[in-house]
A and B are shown apart, each in its own frame.
Chain A
Amino acid sequence: MVFSQVIHFLQNHIYYIGAFGLIFIGLLIILVKHNLIKVIIGLSILETGVNLFLIAVGYISNGTAPIFSNPSVETQRMVDPVPQALVLTAIVIGVAVLALALSLAIRLYQHYGILDLRQIREQKW
């Protein structure tokens, strides 16, 4: 009985599980890794996971894109357009943060010659 419940849960939430899996992988990388480039990769994975989650929230089973390419398209099966608009914004913000992080990483490397955050600790409490 428990087994079938688990299967049922997995069936209904597989996209969420995937999205949050990516989110947790990203968070774990950020928490555990010391190399700045790896941390930035972690951030990127985290953002991807969040975007996937937002898209999954708006999905409808067997849905289509919310575009009236010809007049006969039925509105019932269209997916929710709002999360898609949000994800567009979130992707652009992610790109902006990523670009800035990489440029700062370049500058940090010019100053220190390393990217290991454990050894870059001039500022302390």
Chain B
Amino acid sequence: MKINSYLRVWRLTATNALQIAFVNRGTNLFFLLGKAFRFLISLLFLFLIKESVSSVAGYSSDEMIVFFLTYQLIDSVAQTLFRNVYVFGNQVRSGELDFLLIKPLNPLFRILTDKPDINDLLFLIPTTLGSAYLLSTLSVTLTTSSLLLFGLLFLNAVIIALALHIIIVAMAISMVEIDGLVWLYRDLSALGRFPITIYHESVRLVLFFLLPIGLMLTIPAQVLQNLTPSVSLPIVFIVTMTLLAASLQFWKFSLKKYTSASS
């Protein structure tokens, strides 16, 4: 089975990443502390707002916290899975990409998923548990159907993150420099800490339909809380599939332009 080969390769690269993380225990501890500190400070800000403001753009303070927790979960998963894009520019420059292209696996698989971020993976455990506890204390309505639908939209969010990362690596084939693109993605996705509906209309349109950060982060949080989603769910899935198809076409197009000049 082809899927087994992919799983075996991912397990190997994940084990390597884990071993590296344990070799550099001190550094990784600092990374974890930094992530925890950032998470707690963001929560502190939201709780300070909660004490002073009853509603923000039509959302209660508790609902705002759910938007942030959803962002935290989806962003951490995307960071864990697609961390390797950070070094892709170097792989193009050094010619290492050639070695990935000749392997009997889809090159995108290793380009995106090599070296999963162990820090984010470890960080997911306490934050998910903490988020679940926080959710139980907030005045938001969760139902079995909203949780199931959230699960579906969570998978959809991972597909959107996948498509956006494919676009980044496809652009990096010709641009070589990838840091700027990755940080642009990180800054744009950070806008999803709050519901996208609070932003200016033009920004909102871009973030729902062009670079669908809103579909990735805002819609799952809305559905989880049984709020009316800003974009109807069939459109969410159509946009996601269109984006994924377009990103794959763009990747193929970029790969045809690749000249392997550095190797």
Query: Do A and B originate from a single complex?
Result: no
Chain B positions near chain A (C-beta within 8 angstroms) = none
Chain A interface residues toward B at CB < 8 A: none
